[in-house]
Amino acid sequence: MNAPDSLPALDAAIAEAAARVLPRVVAWRRDFHEHPELGNREVRTAGIVAAHLKAIGLDEVREKVAVTGVVGVLRGGKPGPVVALRADMDALPVKEEVDVPFASRATAPWNGQECGVMHACGHDAHTAMLMGVAEVLAGLRAQLSGTVVFLFQPAEEMPPPGEKGGAKLMIEEGCLADPKVDAVFGLHVTAIQHTNRIGWRSGPLMASADTFRVFIRGSQTHGAQPWRGVDPIVVGSQVVMGLQTVVSRRVNIAKEPSVVTVGVFQGGVRNNIIPDEVKLEGTIRTFDEGQRGDIHGHVRRISEMIAEAGGAKAHVHIDRGYPVTVNHPQLTEWTVPVLERVAGADKVGVIDKVCGAEDFSFYQQAVPGFFFFLGCTPPDRDIATVAPNHSPRFYIDEDCLPTGIRALATLAADWLGANAR
């Protein structure tokens, strides 16, 4: 599978169609931004997406996939393989601080409290761009050699506690099976690159993300008589320090980087009472499955042995989250020249590994996949000081939208043509 040496015949048609649909993509993005919805609650967003896919004549439109997901199927005019394009639809429990006319004022319950809701990670742009891509390719279906599956996915930022959702549930409910998908592409807007710059990496791109909880039980006593009990706060503090040695002393960081962070330390209700128990909670990020398992073991052993040495007991729970996002090497080799053709070779480059996680990784475990980043920070702003994704001040320069539309549409059309039998 090789990238063509010359511009494909569809390039001009895709560019023209993308320009025509752009005003509506901008309008959709602003509408979604003003009316954000949390994971598994994207009812309004999904309704707008499904209505659009039906209006442009897709062959199939499936709703309520993985709770609120939408799957659209477009069969081209010629036989061929199947490629999928994915966009995530959910927002975050963040109160917006960006001064734009379409700023979110939405609120919703999250973890037992009413929170502001904001598209602080750009999923409004992802959804709007893929709606535009669907319209572009639907208008060119006679020239497509195969089938395009559009995956509008809920709950990338995790479903509410106690619920299933996201890419894993989409796959379980057959989004890659009927028709059987042969390859999948996705993108993510990012504040750490300037508008229309594309960042990519072959192999591991984004980290796995696991959550650990350590419950340390001591023996409650009066704060004035610590010798009469076992202080779980002191033991917990020693566990926190011990966990700092996992990456610095127990992991071969020359092979792959990793992160172990304790973000929660809870215990005690009064200044003169040593409590019975404290809770530690943190995250583990890795880029290698073997290393991931090793770190889990280190976290367990360090926590349990330090607690035992202090006369306490540690109970460790590790929840496996998203896997490593791994770009298929051969698919990457084919994809990069196409992206350079769309955006310009000077704007496409290799980036460092990203310690954030993405459930696009579940699709990549099932079929060859490629995920890339599209810069959305205006060129006159300093990347070092700009508000990052997940910030209440996260801002998208809408000049990136045409590049995203053209990139996904061109990748789909070119990949089908290159792999037609």
User: Where in 195-276 does DSSP place strands (E)?
Assistant: 198-200, 203-206, 208-217, 221-222, 258-267, 273-274
List residues bridging with 190 in a β-sheet. 375
Can you tell me the distance from the alpha carbon of 397 to that of 401, in angstroms, rounded to the nearest whole number? 8
AA identity, residue 244: Q
Q: Kindly name the residue from 63, 97, 340, 398 that is annotated as catalytic.
A: 398
Run of H or E residues at 27: helix 10-34
Q: Which of 187, 201, 182 lies closest to 329, judged by CA?
A: 201
List residues bridging with 65 in a β-sheet. 69
Can you tell me the distance from the alpha carbon of 352 to that of 348, in angstroms, rounded to the nearest whole number? 13
Token pair listed for 25: 């993509």
Q: Kindly name the residue from 42, 156, 322, 363 that is annotated as catalytic.
A: 322
Asked if residue 367 lies in contact with residue 183, where contact means CB atoms within 8 angstroms, the answer is yes
Among left, alpha and beta (phi > 0; psi -120 to 50; other), residue 80 is left
Asked if residue 338 lies in contact with residue 411, where contact means CB atoms within 8 angstroms, the answer is yes
Pairing of strands 325-327, 113-116: unpaired
C-alpha 39: how far from chain center: 12
AA identity, residue 66: A
Can you tell me the distance from the alpha carbon of 243 to that of 254, in angstroms, rounded to the nearest whole number? 19
CB count within 10 Å of CB 203 equals 13
Token pair listed for 210: 């696991």
AA identity, residue 390: H
**Cis status, amide bond into 179, omega within 30 of 0:** yes
List residues bridging with 206 in a β-sheet. 325, 354
Could you confirm whether 322 is annotated as catalytic? yes
Provide the annotated active-site residues: 322, 398
